[in-house]
Amino acid sequence: MAERITGHTELIGLMAYPIRHSSSPAMQNEAFSKMGFDYAYLAFEVDNSNLEDAVQSIRALKMRGSNVSMPNKTVVHKYLDKLSPAAELTGAVNTIVNDNGILTGHITDGTGFMAALRDNEIDIKGKKITIVGAGGAATAIEIQSALDGVAEMSVFNRKDEFWERAERNVKAINEKTNCNAKLFDLDNLEMLKSEIAASCLFVNATGMGMKPLEGQSYIPDSSYLRPDLVVADVVYSPAETALLKMAKEIGCKCMNGFGMMLFQGSAAFELWTGKPMPIEYMKETLGIKY
């Protein structure tokens, strides 16, 4: 790394708090080195209190851009000049591109999830899916899969502080895309069972299955699943959640959250450089399996 940094090297940031645990710097810097792009990617501890100054520094330092994560994803749009259609619909931004001082916000979590499905040869266009969640990850997947041509979507969530967001997501999908979306209470397990039975893909897009809920699932038993169902989980730590373990045991095709993580990074990389990440090299170098 030290050998390749010169007076010409441009900076790309990651603005979030907490952020020291992130694997994005290792992933992005490895990809820049491999592809010969003269960028350096660094993580900065930024929360809502210093976000405006941090975004202004992208312009001042002529940075190529930045990733943005919690707690800034749904706030940062205020300080940007333009938004992509998916960022506009989800109300969230995870990637900023600086084109000569004009800052555009994108969200690549949803495109990342869709690219991971394609990489696993899973096609959901024109089909029905069931997804649990209404937070950041879920919203991005719901909006992007509707934009990409999913025909029907059943969304489940608890009646917690995310319920209103679930209502907004379903409304936006029904009004702005050709997908027919419906919202259900996650407490209604009979309904969850029948909606999964009618779907080709079931997605957990909540933190269920990772600490402090590691080893747990809201799916009571494997009678909710069937071997020709694809089961995806946004969680990647652990790599195999209780849900994926149950799904694998009955023969479902499974995908953990590493694919979404890798491909959201690849989509951001492509927005900054114009070229996709060397995906097979990255999988091998980082030991990513999904």
Considering only residues 200 through 229, tell me which ones interact with ligand NAD, judged by CB under 6 A.
206-208, 210, 213, 218
By beta-carbon proximity to ligand NAD, the closer residue of 57 and 91 is 91
By beta-carbon proximity to ligand NAD, the closer residue of 43 and 260 is 260
Phi and psi at 244, nearest 5°, equal -65, -35
**Sheet of strand 180-185: strand arrangement:** 180-185, 152-157, 128-132, 201-204, 230-233, 253-255
Residue 235 touching ligand NAD (CB under 6 A): yes
Contact 253, 120 (CB under 8 A): yes
Considering only residues 62 through 121, tell me which ones interact with ligand NAD, judged by CB under 6 A.
109
Supply the minimum distance, in Å, between the C-beta of residue 116 and ligand NAD. Answer: 9
Residue 17 touching ligand NAD (CB under 6 A): no
Continuous segment of H or E residues that includes residue 273:
helix 258-273
Supply the minimum distance, in Å, between the C-beta of residue 163 and ligand NAD. Answer: 8
Annotation marks residue 275 as catalytic: no
- Among the listed residues 192, 207, 201, the one whose alpha carbon sits nearest the alpha carbon of residue 257: 207
Supply the minimum distance, in Å, between the C-beta of residue 157 and ligand NAD. Answer: 5
Q: Where are the beta strands (DSSP E) in the chain?
A: 10-16, 39-45, 65-68, 82-83, 95-99, 102-106, 128-132, 152-157, 180-185, 201-204, 230-233, 253-255
Q: Which of 34, 73, 125, 182 is catalytic?
A: 73
Residue 39 touching ligand NAD (CB under 6 A): no
Rounded distance between C-alpha atoms, residue 6 and residue 18, angstroms: 29
By beta-carbon proximity to ligand NAD, the closer residue of 123 and 187 is 187
Interface with ligand NAD (CB under 6 A), residue total 25
Rounded distance between C-alpha atoms, residue 237 and residue 216, angstroms: 13
117, 219, 230, 234: which one contacts ligand NAD (CB under 6 A)?
A: 234
157, 177, 241, 266: which one contacts ligand NAD (CB under 6 A)?
A: 157
Supply the minimum distance, in Å, between the C-beta of residue 219 and ligand NAD. Answer: 11
Continuous segment of H or E residues that includes residue 137:
helix 136-147
By beta-carbon proximity to ligand NAD, the closer residue of 37 and 218 is 218
Supply the minimum distance, in Å, between the C-beta of residue 60 and ligand NAD. Answer: 29
Residue written as token pair 């994926």? 244
Contact 222, 249 (CB under 8 A): yes
Residue numbers at the binding site for ligand NAD (CB under 6 A): 109, 133-138, 157-158, 160, 162, 186, 206-208, 210, 213, 218, 234-236, 257, 260-261, 264
Active site residues: 73
